[in-house]
């Protein structure tokens, strides 16, 4: 079975400082990993995804994440936070072997609320 | 302008009433999904459909029903059997092995 743990329910940073949102996963096989962002009362937007190519993945809006198999982590980072980054962030793992072909085997983390202080 | 639309944005349900949430996509995606989102819970899968006229239950299907008569449309009905329907409902679609793309959501409230 697969699972994903977002280690912080809330993260607060000052504008212009680095952002780190932590995600650990467990999976029986080589997973695909995603980060989505959700602004209030909106749908989820894909930030980036890892699918067994380069371990450092660059996404939109200056975000990037590094897949570390030895640590089973996929932390999301950004060098300099902007006020518009304030949102909920979800780490998602996809292991088709556990979920079958039907539902993509997606498992969502519970989310990290990113707060940007002016 | 391609994408996924959900309507209405807000929906109110009275006790014992069935309500239907709309999800339409013009992305030519084969697979469509319904998720429920509660505060601090992440997303939970209600139903999904890989092809027209076929759908499967997800993790929390009780109290919900769906249909997939057209490729573009995947409406979700919240029945009176769903005792705690207040939540944010998200529809998503996917083509082949690609990523799921999400609609803007419908917030369901009980009067």
Residue A113 host element (H or E):
strand A112-117
At residue B79, does pLDDT exceed 80? Answer: yes
At residue A99, does pLDDT exceed 70? Answer: no
The count of other CB atoms within 10 Å of the CB of residue B81 is 11
Residues of B (1-20) whose Cβ lies below 8 Å from A: 4, 6
Closest chain B C-alpha to A27 CA, distance in angstroms: 18
- B100 preceded by cis ω (within 30°)? no
Q: How far is residue B15's CA from residue B21's CA, in Å, rounded to a whole number? A: 17
pLDDT in tens, B53-64: 999 999 999 999
Closest chain B C-alpha to A70 CA, distance in angstroms: 25
Furthest C-alpha separation in chain A = 45
pLDDT in tens, B3-34: 999 999 999 988 889 999 999 999 999 999 99
Give percent of chain A above pLDDT 70.
91
Q: What residues contact residue A36 under an 8 Å CB cut-off, 6+ apart?
A: A44, A45, A46, A47, A89, A90, A92, B102
Residue count of chain B? 111
* B78-83 average pLDDT score: 90
């Amino acid at each position: 079975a697969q699972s994903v743990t977002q280690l912080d329910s809330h993260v607060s940073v000052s504008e212009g400082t680095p952002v780190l949102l932590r995600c650990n996963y467990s999976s029986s096989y080589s997973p695909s990993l995603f980060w989505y962002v959700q602004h209030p009362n909106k749908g989820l937007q894909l930030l980036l995804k890892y699918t067994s190519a380069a371990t450092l993945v660059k996404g939109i809006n200056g975000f990037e994440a590094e897949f570390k198999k030895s640590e089973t982590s996929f932390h999301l980072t950004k060098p300099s936070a902007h006020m518009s980054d304030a949102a909920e962030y979800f780490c998602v793992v996809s292991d088709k072997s556990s979920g079958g072909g039907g539902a993509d085997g997606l498992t969502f983390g519970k989310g990290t609320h990113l707060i940007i202080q002016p | 302008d391609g994408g996924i639309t959900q309507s209405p944005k807000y929906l109110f349900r009275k006790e014992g009433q069935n309500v239907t949430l709309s999800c339409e996509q013009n992305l030519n995606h084969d697979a469509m999904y319904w998720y429920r989102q509660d505060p601090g819970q992440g997303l939970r899968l209600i139903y999904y459909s890989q092809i027209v006229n076929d759908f499967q239950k997800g993790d929390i299907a009780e109290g919900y029903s769906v249909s997939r008569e057209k490729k573009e449309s995947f409406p979700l009905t919240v029945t009176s059997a769903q005792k705690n329907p207040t939540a944010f409902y998200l529809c998503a679609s996917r083509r082949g092995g690609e990523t799921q793309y999400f609609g803007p959501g419908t917030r369901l409230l009980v009067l």
